[in-house]
Homo-oligomer: A and B are copies of this chain.
Amino acid sequence: MAKYGPISGFPEWTPGQKMLEQDLIAFIALQFELCGFAPIETRAVEPISVLTNKGDDKEIYLLSRLQDTEKNAEASKEAPEKKESTDKEPLGLHFDLTVPFARYVVEHQHLLSFPFKRYQIQKVWRGERPQEGRYREFYQCDIDVVGAEKLDVSADAEMASVMLKALSGLPIPPVELRINNRKALQGFYKGLGVERLSDALRIVDKLAKIGPEAVGQLLADELKLSAKAVEQILALASLKGGPEVIEQAAALGVKHPLFHEGLSELSQVLELTRSAGPVHVDFSIARGLDYYTGTVYESVLLGHEHIGSICSGGRYDNLAAGGKVPYPGVGASIGLTRLLGYLFGRNLIEVHTKTPVQVMVVLNDLDARAQSFAIADQLRQRGIATDVYHAAQNFKKQLKAIEKRGIPYALFIEENGCSIKTLATGVQESINLDHWLPEKQNSRVRFTCHF
């Protein structure tokens, strides 16, 4: 007997939740396209050498052919050395959409125009050990702009604008986008004489958890920084807000060309995103800064900051080795499954819809099937999802079942036309099939937000 049940880390939604997820994906894709991003979809697998190219420590699912494995198991009983696979290189499931995108750009560079703007909404897989709250299969919604050789900092601003457009149209709590800049931090730390940047960033990343005092202590103990340097680092990390904090950062008095280049980039991004929504500079952001080379993004749900960033990304110097030229780029990713898993799991979004059906045709008797299907088709042709009840039960029983399925309307075929009963109110009235429309509140996916 096969095992039927959930598998930790592989979430599945109800049909109604899936309908909402579809709508959100379509909305996000539309925003990306309106802003000029072209969709690509890459295969789910890459050769292991591509996945492990950057020395990433992501957990990878390796594939093997079951039939090979079985043959190998048998073969190995007789001759253990015959265990080679027939495929040239083992394949693994992609753990993000950046690595496949990099491969795609290098593979098709002669066909693409640069700057190349792409979006990609696909599932990714991570071979994590089963653990509560860790997803092993999830959707990511990625956008990236890559240039050939160079890419203006205005692309960093565009990234922020596009993500805000996508996020602010979703049925989620208000979002705040926070940015920082690797050059600003690196220059600042260099100006203070701090050499071990990534160690310093790792310590500063603990600010929210252990507070400034403990962070200061660690900086002094582990990195042997002077009291003055520690004070300056903590002062910079406390700056959060609009353009004024960039001035305040400059006023801390640290002199280093990279620091001022970073501040200038932050200013330009703020300037170009002024009308896009809430973009704040936050000099305490340290995560991702040893990977990215310029602007970095994080975003939080206001009132739900504890779940961490729901959309992150940053600027990089070269998307992929193997190109004719370097491909500098900037990208960001919305963790859609993680977001929905939180909202559904805490009942912050409650989906009422169980089926797309808006109108169920009540079946008068078995001989009425052909006529009922024809009437259903008339409504379908006008974009109204319609079904025909499956059995000629008495009307009371049919209506009860229709209501239980959360379908808003029941249609009766009468001698001289049709009538529709609104189940929520019990009101029944004659209708003209060519003109009747469901009310707005009975639209495709019905849900309530509890936030």
What residues make up the interface of A, taking CB atoms closer than 8 Å to B?
Answer: 1-7, 10-16, 18-19, 21-22, 26, 29, 33-45, 47-50, 52-53, 59-69, 86-87, 89, 91-93, 103-104, 106-107, 111, 113, 115, 117-118, 123, 125, 127, 129-130, 137, 147, 151-152, 154-155, 158, 161, 271-272, 275, 321-322, 354-357, 369-370, 373-374, 377, 380, 383-387, 390-391, 401, 404-405, 444
Is the pair B62, A369 in contact by a Cβ cutoff of 8 Å?
Answer: no
Chain B residues whose C-beta falls within 8 Å of the C-beta of A63 in the assembled complex: 61-63, 93, 127
Q: Which residue of B lies closest to A379 (CB)?
A: B34
Q: Which residue of B lies closest to A121 (CB)?
A: B22
The winner among A3, A13, A155 for most chain B CB atoms within 10 A is: A3
Task: Tell me, rounded to whole Å, the shortest Cβ–Cβ distance linking A350 to chain B.
Answer: 15
Is the pair B64, A61 in contact by a Cβ cutoff of 8 Å?
Answer: yes
A41 and B66 contact, Cβ closer than 8 Å, known pairs A34-B384, A130-B87, A272-B373: no
Starting from the known contacts A38-B355, A113-B405, 11 additional A-B residue pairs (CB-CB under 8 Å) come to A2-B49, A7-B45, A10-B45, A13-B41, A33-B444, A35-B386, A37-B356, A44-B137, A61-B66, A65-B127, A152-B390
Docked pose: A66 CA to B62 CA in angstroms: 5
A3 and B64 contact, Cβ closer than 8 Å, known pairs A113-B404, A373-B161: no
Docked pose: A75 CA to B391 CA in angstroms: 62
Chain B residues whose C-beta falls within 8 Å of the C-beta of A373 in the assembled complex: 158, 161, 272
Copies of this chain in its oligomeric complex: 2
- Cross-interface CB contact of A385 among B36, B127, B154, cutoff 8 Å: B36
Docked pose: A92 CA to B3 CA in angstroms: 13
Chain B residues whose C-beta falls within 8 Å of the C-beta of A43 in the assembled complex: 7, 10-12, 137
Docked pose: A66 CA to B56 CA in angstroms: 12
Docked pose: A383 CA to B34 CA in angstroms: 7
Chain B residues whose C-beta falls within 8 Å of the C-beta of A93 in the assembled complex: 63
Docked pose: A321 CA to B5 CA in angstroms: 14
Is the pair A12, B69 in contact by a Cβ cutoff of 8 Å?
Answer: no
Is the pair A50, B123 in contact by a Cβ cutoff of 8 Å?
Answer: no
Q: Which residue of B lies closest to A122 (CB)?
A: B123
Chain B residues whose C-beta falls within 8 Å of the C-beta of A444 in the assembled complex: 33
A322 and B2 contact, Cβ closer than 8 Å, known pairs A12-B43, A47-B7: yes
Chain B residues whose C-beta falls within 8 Å of the C-beta of A384 in the assembled complex: 34
